[in-house]
């Protein structure tokens, strides 16, 4: 898909911004999409009630009130078009130049990505992303976020945060305002999160997320890890509860695998 749906970008200025940003490389583009297309995407985005019926629900200590639709077949046409744009050859080539990362690969399955909708009192704690798609062996390198929230107010929170490697200092925050795009390098120190969403009931923080990968491992890669959550400095209770939550998650996965194997044995491996 061509780049006709986005506003002109000074790729050299964007490259300079990205490669010199702290605490990890990132860039921000306001008025990212052409106005008519941005309006169409915002209008097509499912309501908070609708998105709950279409996708995956997150309700745990680290992610609350968040719903995700990763199946592009369930997306309205305008949002499927946005997905095609962000995962298209022309846009990927532009991002390769801006980031200095060659041979970027889009994830057509949108694992962890797609439509994200977080309602009032929802949040996403500070974390590192999973670093590899195990089914394909690809290494996660970049996250791109496009926000579709008309009329979002400063006191509604829901800011995207970039933290230092020790999660002691928040270096940068971004309000999720309409037609804002943020991209950042996801690596072993790119701790990030979303602070508490304080929009009125009936409203939601809406975004589209896509992730880019490479077959070649980055220099810092050691081994696969899943999402790693870490408490903010003012979240003393969570610093105790998070390891328990991670352990519970691990036990649940273990039991699910055991149940799957038992089912296979009972059914004769069919």
Q: State the pLDDT at residue 93.
A: 98
173-218: pLDDT as tens digits: 999 999 999 999 999 999 999 999 999 999 999 999 999 999 999 9
Give me the CATH code for the 11-233 domain, please.
2.60.120.620
**Which comes out higher in pLDDT, residue 64 or 162?**
162
Residues 25/18, Cβ–Cβ less than 8 Å:
yes
d(CA 148, CA 154): 15
Q: State the pLDDT at residue 239.
A: 56
Domain boundaries, the chain: 11-233, 235-270
| 3-state SS assignment for residue 194 | strand
Q: What's the pTM value of the predicted model, to 2 decimals?
A: 0.88
Side-chain-side CA neighbours of 97 within 13 Å: the count stands at: 11
């Amino acid at each position: 898909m061509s780049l006709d749906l986005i506003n002109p970008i000074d790729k050299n200025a964007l490259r300079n911004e990205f490669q010199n940003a702290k605490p990890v490389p990132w860039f921000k583009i306001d008025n990212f999409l052409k106005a008519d297309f941005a309006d169409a995407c915002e209008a097509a985005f499912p309501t908070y009630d609708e998105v709950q019926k279409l996708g995956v629900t997150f309700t745990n200590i680290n992610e609350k009130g968040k719903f995700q639709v990763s199946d592009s077949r369930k997306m309205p046409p305008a949002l499927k078009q946005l997905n095609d744009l962000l995962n298209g050859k022309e846009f990927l080539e532009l991002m390769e130049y801006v980031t200095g990362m060659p041979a970027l690969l889009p994830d057509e399955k949108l694992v962890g990505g797609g439509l994200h909708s977080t309602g009032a009192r929802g949040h996403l704690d500070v974390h590192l992303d999973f670093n590899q798609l195990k089914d394909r062996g690809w290494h996660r390198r970049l996250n791109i976020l496009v926000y579709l929230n008309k009329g979002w107010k400063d006191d509604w929170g829901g800011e995207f945060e970039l933290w230092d490697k020790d999660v002691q200092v928040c270096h940068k925050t971004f309000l999720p305002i309409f037609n804002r795009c943020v991209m950042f390098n996801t690596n072993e120190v790119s701790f990030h999160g979303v602070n508490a969403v304080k929009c009125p009931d009936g409203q939601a923080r809406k975004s589209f997320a896509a992730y880019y990968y490479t077959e070649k491992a980055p220099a810092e890669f050691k081994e696969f890890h899943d999402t790693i959550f870490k408490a903010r400095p003012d979240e003393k209770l969570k610093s105790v509860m998070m390891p328990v939550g991670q352990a519970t998650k691990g036990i649940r996965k273990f039991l699910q695998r055991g149940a799957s194997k038992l089912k296979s044995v009972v059914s004769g491996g069919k």
